[in-house]
Amino acid sequence: MEKKQDERLGTEPLGRLIVSLALPAVAAQLINVLYNIIDRIYIGHIEGYGDMALTGVGVTFPIIMIISAFSAFAGMGGAPLASIELGKKNYEQAEKILGTCTALLITFSIALTVIFLIVKTPVLYMFGATENTITYASEYITIYLLGTIFVQFALGLNTFISGQGNARTAMLSVLIGAVINIILDPIFIFALKMGVRGAAFATILSQAASAVWVVRFLTSKKSVVRIRKDYVRLDGRMIRHIAALGISPFIMQSTESLVMITLNSRLKIYGGDLYVGSMSILTSVMQLISVPVQGLNQGMQPIISYNYGAGNKERVLGTFKRMVTICLTVTLVMSGIAILHPQVFSGLFTNKEELLTVTNQVMPVYFLGTTLFGIQMACQTTFIALGQAKASLFIALLRKVILLIPLAMILPRFFGVMGVYYAEPVADILSVLTTIVLFTITIRKVLKNWETNETR
């Protein structure tokens, strides 16, 4: 009975299966975005110093992203491998992978907490804190760091729940944390007059609730793979396999802060505060476009991994084709709205006329390449799902590190402030074209190896 949940990944009709897994994953991603937005709204409304508090908390964002990146390293590196083993009916190996990832997350939690508590002040100044904001930034991140273990478990282990076909349970773990945080924020911040410290306590308590939910499920009979004490250890050979896949999502998350620092510094030099403000809106709109696609990919990835492990070529290819079609449709429609009617999005974030004018002017340029980005996101997810570590790592580095950051540094010298905005579509289009070529070559090799193994 306990094995049936994962077996539906290989037997249930694809259309119905994709809907049942993708919708909860999309909902979980949207809840996460709402979670962060509401958190910042509460902080921004603290009487007397809300604006400085919000700025201070914003400075902690790169540290929080780095912590999340380590959870992605273990979770998104291990969960696809576990799904592949489930497809092979090798449940013991899947549980060993889960155990190794659990040990990794514990190790990361201890190391990150100690290191950042020691170097937090110079790091916060490096990320933009000033004498006016350092107190709020330090208060928030100190408390947040004490809950690092909860963040690591809530984010890193949740992928093993969705990876066995339990997308609804994975969504509930996110929903529980979000609801608790939304309830506790006003109580701690305003009723108990704890200010920024209250927001931090609300955050780690909500993450603790999510972590307890995730661990409880993964140690129960409801889970196909379980956390077993004997397997919670650092296995060097297994860590190498996890790292090969996990380095890609790690780089994608950890480099986000580097990208933002680069873009904002160029805009500050060539345009000024108004253009920096426009980038804040553009990145928020980018989240609105990318989050549903990330959810769709997260929901469909276990189907590809499981059936790859099971040797079911038709279901792998069928899922990939649907993934590309759906992701491309979403990015085309959403980016099309941003290009043709930028005021639909910009009006959500500001009513200042000057900022609206600048944002509406640059938004069509900025999102031109995003129309095709659904192709890259689908291919990137498939690389990870098939265990193609090298290809996944290259694509992760390509768009941000190899293309976007250098282009953002070079193009403004020729086009002024608009060069910063041109960098995004140029990087997007070049990375999509490169991804298509690389994916075509890689999938042919995978299919050839598949056919070779079938004839043996």
The 10s digit of each residue's pLDDT in 322-338 is 999 999 999 999 999 99
In this prediction, residue 1 has a pLDDT band, given cuts at 50, 70 and 90, of: very low
Higher pLDDT, residue 263 or 93:
93
Q: What is the pLDDT of residues 29-87, one digit of tens each?
A: 777 776 666 776 777 677 877 767 776 777 787 788 889 889 989 998 999 899 889 88
Higher pLDDT, residue 255 or 357:
357
Q: Work out the mean pLDDT of the chain and round it to a whole number.
A: 86
* Residue 350: predicted pLDDT: 63
For the chain, what percent of residues have pLDDT higher than 90? 41
In this prediction, residue 4 has a pLDDT band, given cuts at 50, 70 and 90, of: low
Q: What is the pLDDT of residues 76-134, one digit of tens each?
A: 899 989 988 988 889 999 999 999 999 999 999 999 999 999 999 998 887 767 788 88
Residue 193 clears pLDDT 60, i.e. is over it: yes
Closest by CA to 298, choosing from 72, 135, 143, is 72
> Which residues touch 27 (CB under 8 Å, ≥6 apart)?
171, 175, 295
Q: Where are the domains of the chain?
A: 16-254, 255-456
Q: How many CB atoms lie within 10 A of CB 310?
A: 19
Residue 454 clears pLDDT 60, i.e. is over it: no
Higher pLDDT, residue 192 or 22:
192
